[in-house]
Amino acid sequence: MSSAEAARTVDARIAALPEKLRSAALAWLRREADLAAELGAHPASQPLHGVPYVLKDLFDLAGVPTNAGSTFLNSARGTPSRDSALALRLRELGAACAGKTHLVEFAAGLFGDNSHYGDCPHPFFPDRLSGGSSSGSAALVAAGVVPLAVGTDTGGSVRVPAAFCGLYGFRLSPRDDFIRDAMPLSPSLDTAGWFTAHAADMLTAWEALVPCRVAASLSSIALATEGRRTGPATSADSTVNRAPRGCFLPAKSLGLSFDPDTAIAYDRGAAALAHPADALTTAALLTSWQDAIEAYTLTALSEAHAIHRDWLAPYHEHYEPSIWQRFSDGGRYPAEQLTKAAATFETVRAAFRQYFASYDYLVLPATPFPALRKAECTPEARRALLTLTAPASLGGLPVLTIPVGLPSGLSTGLQVILPGADSPVVPWILNR
């Protein structure tokens, strides 16, 4: 499309959305003429030339309010005067921001609910939610408004909505350049990420945005699938011209009550990428993850309290009540609990280091069920999701999420956990 046609198309697709979805997903929309000018402002040789995208409203754009799903953040901090590092990089690559997207308030949730702007509905199953916290970003890609959307992932906020909405998702690592200047939830856990509807689009975005390109390392892991091995490496193995080695944990091994169709679809999809983990590998990983949810919750909320400490009293009535309570509680954890949480982080990371000494990737389910109705968004459902997502969060590891369709038309996803964002496993999977 020409720049003008692309901008016009984005506007038309936004206008065609159901009102409930549009208001719950879209925080700010760039004027059509301004978007057209931005889309045509960079050389056609740029890898993302002419690509309109939407940006989760945790990232700043100069002159545009950042409210992070709240009603008061812009009043407390002031309107940004500069773009975030990720927005700047996307512009350098030729992409143009078409709008900013709503999220669970301050990114503190996995379901896509927001009492200020409306719960974000699934684009194709409006009685269900999109997943969160990157709800608006996922919903607008799934609805076909834009081909690319930026999100964040602390405890699953890219992985869960990608799985619920049938998208590809990628999360980076904590404290990298793309997340450092975003509005934080938990700095030691927050990561930047993005969504696409298609594998080829994900590969294009990954090649453009991951700073350490993998061209030099592709010789170490062949992209061919023939002769793929899944066992631990041995001294006799050549590190050249081999397919990636990985394994998966079957749904029945994870101790969760899975939706039956989700378990079947996950196991089938995972088996297309890897073999089941052996008993020793499974036991080592699961043992290390036993306290992962508690460590994640303690760390995330104690760090959230530190960030929000000066706002909790003056803006009390502006917070969603349950989020205000959780952030307030985060300042009351005893030191011994936080010390235990830190020890769990190290236990999880040590187990992953041991695992990645032998393997190139690990496959887990992204969710134990498809997109939920509001009444199903319970503490038990949150815990079930975190059982699957917290290990990679504590490990500080990048994750590629692959959508998996279900017989109902709903979806789940595979988490492909990686030792590094520039892993050649990414093109190997996306080119399959």
* Residue 233 is assigned to a structural domain of this protein: no
C-alpha dist (Å) from residue 417 to 1, 105, 255, 340, 401: 35, 27, 19, 25, 9
Name residue 97's beta-bridge partners. Answer: 53
pLDDT of residue 419 exceeding 70, the answer is yes
Give the residue-averaged pLDDT of 395-417. 98
pLDDT bucket at 231, cuts 50 / 70 / 90: very low
pLDDT of residue 239 exceeding 90, the answer is no
pLDDT (0 to 100) of residue 241: 58
Give the residue-averaged pLDDT of 148-154. 98
Cβ 221 vs Cβ 424: under 8 Å: yes
Count of domains for the chain: 1
Cα gap 129→374, rounded to integer Å: 7
Cα gap 279→262, rounded to integer Å: 23
- Each residue of 302-351: pLDDT tens digit? 999 999 999 999 999 999 999 999 999 999 999 999 999 999 999 999 99
Give the residue-averaged pLDDT of 180-201. 98
- Each residue of 20-66: pLDDT tens digit? 999 999 999 999 999 999 999 989 999 999 999 999 999 999 999 99
63-67, 240-244, 278-282, 286-290: the lowest-pLDDT one: 240-244
Q: Is the dihedral of CA 303, 307, 311, 316 positive or negative?
A: negative
CATH number, domain of 186, equals 3.90.1300.10
Q: Indicate the helix (H) or strand (E) that contains 389.
A: helix 379-395
Cα gap 244→228, rounded to integer Å: 7
* Residue 48 is assigned to a structural domain of this protein: yes
* Residue 229 is assigned to a structural domain of this protein: no
pLDDT (0 to 100) of residue 223: 38
pLDDT bucket at 232, cuts 50 / 70 / 90: very low
pLDDT bucket at 243, cuts 50 / 70 / 90: confident
Give the residue-averaged pLDDT of 7-18. 98
* Residue 393 is assigned to a structural domain of this protein: yes
* Residue 62 is assigned to a structural domain of this protein: yes
Cα 196 from chain centre: 11
Give the per-residue SS3 of 133-189: CCHHHHHHHHCCCCCEEEEEECCCCCHHHHHHHCCEEEECCCCCCCCCCCCCCCCCC
* Collapsed DSSP state (helix, strand, coil) of residue 230: coil
pLDDT of residue 233 exceeding 70, the answer is no
The set of residues, in sequence order, having a beta carbon less than 8 Å from that of 400 and lying 6+ positions away, is 168, 169, 170, 202, 415, 416, 418, 425, 426, 429, 430
Give the residue-averaged pLDDT of 81-107. 98
* Residue 231 is assigned to a structural domain of this protein: no
pLDDT (0 to 100) of residue 346: 98
pLDDT of residue 242 exceeding 80, the answer is no
pLDDT of residue 193 exceeding 60, the answer is yes
Shortest CA distance to 95 belongs to which of 53, 152, 144, 44?
Answer: 53
* Collapsed DSSP state (helix, strand, coil) of residue 119: coil
- Each residue of 261-280: pLDDT tens digit? 999 999 999 999 999 999 99
* Residue 67 is assigned to a structural domain of this protein: yes
* Residue 426 is assigned to a structural domain of this protein: yes
pLDDT (0 to 100) of residue 63: 98
pLDDT bucket at 171, cuts 50 / 70 / 90: very high
Mean pLDDT of the chain: 94
Cα gap 34→37, rounded to integer Å: 5
Q: Is 136 exposed, middle or buried (0-12, 13-18, 19+ CB in 10 A)?
A: buried
Structural domain range at position 167 = 1-222+240-432
Cα gap 109→3, rounded to integer Å: 36
